[in-house]
Amino acid sequence: MRRPAFYSRSPRTPPPAAEQAADQVADAAASPDTAGAGGTVQPPPNRSGWQPGRKSFALLLVLCAALVAGGTVWWPRQGKVITQKDIDAAVLRTMQTATLPSPAAKAADIIRPSVVRVVGYGPEKATPEAKTQKRGRNMAKGKPPEAPLDGAAPGEVERGVGTGVVIVDKGVILTNLHVVAGSEKIKVTFADGLEAVAVITGVQPENDLAVLQAQKIPDDLIPAAMRSTADLRPGDQVAAVGFPFGIGPSVSAGVVSGLKRSFRSPEGKQELGNLIQFDAAANPGNSGGPLINMDGEVLGIVTAILNPTQQRTFIGIGFAVPIENAASAAGSPPF
């Protein structure tokens, strides 16, 4: 009797009855009593009742019957010709069942890697009002009242918080001049969270623009694409991306309300011209951020909001410097 192998449990190993029958055949071949007249060995009768192949044959019959019964499923059919009507129906069905992102959401996804938070720092003012504001912001964050503000060294405070947009992958950033004016130190925070010191490399006071150069940049920094405003029309969809009141990046959508507008600062010290008027919500902190179309291309730099009251909140009228003027501040008119 053979010993079964230890490394396999293959069903091909003959059952005991088969081995017994094989031994009987071998014994019969060795015995002259079982030989016929012609010397042919006659196998002994199968007393165990086991017949090789019977169960396998029965299983094969069952499988064949199943294939015949389900022929429409199992047998390959000729492929159906896809028509334009089928494609239109599939597209319509997808549009009815799938939730697609809005145009503003897709545009914001494109521009977001190029948007930065810009903070200007300066000496802390010792006025009672400044101290009260500092204590309030620290207490709101659960910090000691006299602790330095985020990103500020002892004795420094935030002088301006705004937004910028990367236009060259070497770390060249456009923002508003009033965001960084009077700051002794400027820090920018990129989309991936990297914080870096930046320096002013150019200004254009007549358009309230400043050009920054970050001292450290992400490895995969993506600059924004700029788009000419020559074909811009009132009613075109736009979106403003930035950090209103330091919160963001935030996105607000609207339309172009008008072109070639003028704006005078509340103090009356400066008047800006050739501005894009838009109605996408913008508030303090949006300054310096991009105004984009629905392809995520920069049309202008958000620079001001109309404030007929002292509340400094958005009432539906914002202004942006066209990108032609903004790019010229960086020394490279794009169009």
Residue 221: which of 192, 243, 199 has the closest Cα?
192
Q: Would residue 96 be called left, alpha or beta, if left means φ above 0 and alpha means ψ between -120 and 50 degrees?
A: alpha
* 250-264 vs 237-242, strand pairing mode: antiparallel
Give the CA angle between residues 245, 250, 256 to the nearest 5°.
100
Tokens of 305: 């909001």
List active site positions. Answer: 178, 208, 287
CA distances to 49, 163, 320 from 317, rounded to whole Å, are 98, 19, 10
Give bridge partners of residue 255 from the DSSP assignment. Answer: 237
d(CA 161, CA 189): 11
